[in-house]
Each structure stands twice: as C-alpha cells, then as structure tokens.
Structure 1
Amino acid sequence: MTGAMQWYIRGVDAVNYRLGRIMMYGIFVLMGVLLWSSISKTFFLPSLWTLEMAQFIMVAYYMLGGPYSIQLGSNVRMDLLYGEWSARKKAWVDLFTVLFLIFYLGVLLYGAVSSTAYSLGYWGTEPFSFFGGLITGSEEIGRMERSSTAWRPYMWPVKTIMILGMFLMLLQCVSELFKDVLRIKGETI
C-alpha cells in the first residue's frame, strides 16, 4: 500500500510542480494585458476585452497555481501553536484538516461541473450525465452562456479552467493526505 501511495505522490506532485512553475509566469501575461489596457485607454480607443481578459487570466493563475502552493506548504497556516509542534503531531493535525479541505473541494468541483454544463447550454439536473452524453453523442451543446459585458465572451473556457484547477487541487490534497499518513507511520517520502 505504501508503494502505491509513494507512486501517487510522485506522479501528482510532478504534474502540479511543472504546471505551477509554468503558471508563475502568468503574472507577466496579466501585467501585459493590464499595461495594454492602460495604454489603449490613454492613447487610443479603450479596448473592451482587456479588463475581463485580465480577470480570466487571474482565475487561471490562481486556480492552476493553487495545487503548487499547497505542495510547497505556502498556504496560510496558524503558526501560533503549529510551529512548535513535532513533525508527527503536525502530520496528525494536517491529516485531520485536509479531510475537510477534500470535502470542500469536492463540493466546489460538483458546483463547477454544474456551472460549466450550464454554460454549454444544459439546463437539467444531472451535469455529469450531460458530459457523458457529449462524449457518446447522445447530448448536444445548447445555447452557450456569454458574459453580460460589452465584449460578451463565452464563459465555458474559464469555467473549464476552474474545473481543471479544482480537480488538480483535489489530487494534491489527496497527495498531502498520503504524505501525512506516511509521516505518521515514520516512513520517508
């Protein structure tokens, strides 16, 4: 069992590490879009797409960089007591709290799948069967949701990125859970 945990940890950590390192440079893309927004508003006609595109880039930056942040342990912790505990006690507390995070991310992921199905024109109550139907050909994409701004972009791309980010964050949380189990057992990771 520990071999499977080690394999899972290495695989998920490798994917999230590489993606996180790539997403670090997303801040420069965001800065470029905001710089163009400022220049176009000052010297030319203002671009309609810049502020909303900046929001979409920020969503991708945050959601796809989140698993990397969890992996590095750079998320917010209450170090008042936690910093003085032994590694084993930290692992027990982390094991307990990551279960709440996994539940929370599961609920968010379900909501994101429902919202993405809605953005693709599905108004039913079974979003997972809708996506299964898209794959098999028994479902069709309906009238797609668009933003209510003047630019009116489709919403499904950013919602799909949110699903991917939440799914990767969920995988990383399970990896952290396995790391805590191995630490409690006294094994090296």
Structure 2
Amino acid sequence: MPTLFKFAQTIDYLTEQVGRLLYSIVILTVGIGFYNVAARYLGRFVGLKLSSNALIELQWYLFSLMFFIGFPYILKHSANVRVDFLYAHWSPKRQALIDFLGTVLFLIPFCLIGIYVTFNPVLQSWGQLPDGSWGAWEVSSDADGLPRAPIKSMILVSFALLLLQAISQAIKYGAILQGYEPALREIQSETEKPPIE
C-alpha cells in the first residue's frame, strides 16, 4: 500500500501544479476580456477596429481551459458540490467506502468513455481524414478565427488528468479502508485546505 500511496501522491503533485497554472489562465482571461471590451468601445469612438475575432475566441478558449483542467483539482480538494446530508455524519471509513465505490464504478469508467469518445473527433480536428491521411486543421468559421484543434485536444487532456486524479483518489480511499492512517490524514487535510494556497 505505501508504494501505491506514493504513486497517488505523485498524481496529487501533478494536479496541484495544474491547479497553480489556473492562476495565470484566470489572470490572462480577465486581461484579454478587459482589452476586448475596452477596444470595442474605444474602437467605436475613434472609428477603428481595435479588437479581432482571434482575441475574442482566445478569451473563450482560455475560459474553457479553466474548466477543462480545473476538474482534477476540484476532485482532489473535494470542492465539488455534495447534496448528501447523510454523508457528512458517517465515519471516515464509511465515507471512504462510498467514495471508493463511486470512483471505481462511475468516475473512472466515465473518464475512459470520455477519452474513447473524443479521441477520433480530436484527430479529425487535427486534420486526420477518413482514409488515414492528414489534411488541414479544423479552424474557426469566423474571419481571423483560431484553429479549433488545440482547444479540442484539451478535452482529451482534461479527461486524462481527471482519470489520473480519480485513480489517486481511489488509492487513497482504498488505503483508508485498509486502515492506512496517512491516507486518512491526507484526505482530511485536502478538504480543510483552501483551494490553491
């Protein structure tokens, strides 16, 4: 169990680093959004086009990226919304059992299905043709728009990161069920810590 727990801690470290990356993405998204609004109004005032579809789409891409790569971080810190008033009153082992079963029976299969279903559309977005050859990337239909392939690829990345974090959580829940105390302490500290310290 200690070896698996170390593996889970490595995944947790990766998730924390991705969570820290969200800081920059949020600031960049707000900055581009501010520029887009200011440029639109200032452009009307001076009679020039100061913004572009590329910047508007970049703002949309970054906003999507926040959600895509934020899912594993939310899972790690149990920041998802729980509507179960019974769960809070259960013992840590009972909570771990329910979380373990939910993760293994539902979340991990969901991630695997998500990867399977999105794999071919992402390849097609990069230009893979039905005969297996490669063509042009999928691009926005708007003038001066951005390529769609990079943001569509992030769907795969987000499912892969969520799958890794789900495996980490399952390992930690399993460790709690087997009485491995460091796992219980880590799970409890993750739910008590504020997000992204």
Counterpart selection for 1:53 from 58, 66, 82: 58
Q: Quick check: 1:102 aligned with 2:108?
A: yes
**1:90 CA displacement:** 0.5
Does residue 72 in structure 1 map to residue 77 in structure 2?
A: yes
* Residue 134 (structure 2) aligned to one of 135, 138, 141: 141
Identify if the C-alpha distance between structure 1 residues 3 and 124 changes in structure 2 by more than 3 Å, giving closer, same or farther: farther
Is 2:31 aligned against 1:21?
no
- Superposed CA RMSD: 1.7
**Structure 1, 148-157 or 95-104: larger mean CA deviation:** 148-157
CA contact (8 A) 2:52 2:144 kept: no
Which segments of 5 or more consecutive residues in structure 1 lack a partner in the other structure?
Answer: 126-138
In structure 2, stretches of 5+ residues that fail to align are 44-48, 184-197
Say which SS state the counterpart of residue 30 (structure 1) adopts: helix
Q: 2:145 aligns with which of 138, 152, 175?
A: 152
**Partner of 1:49: helix, strand, or coil?**
helix
Contact 1:40 1:47 in 2 (8 A): no
Q: Where do 4+ consecutive residues of structure 1 move more than 6 Å? A: none
Residue of structure 2 in register with 1:5 after alignment: 4
Match of 2:175 in 1: 182
In the alignment, the residues of structure 2 paired with residue 124 and residue 170 of structure 1 have an alpha-carbon distance, to the nearest angstrom, of: 29
When normalised by structure 2's length, the TM-score is 0.82
User: Match for 1:117 among 112, 115, 123?
Assistant: 123
Shift of 1:67: 0.9
The Cα of 1:140 is off from its aligned counterpart by 5.0
What TM-score results when the alignment is normalised by the length of structure 1? 0.86
- 1:31-86 Cα offsets, whole Å, 9 max, x none, are 11110110111012242223211111012111112211111111121231111111
| 1:3 Cα deviation from its structure 2 partner | 2.6
Q: Give identity over the alignment, percent.
A: 22
Q: 1:172–1:151: structure 2 CA closer, same or farther, 3 Å change rule? A: same
AA partner of residue 109 (structure 1): I
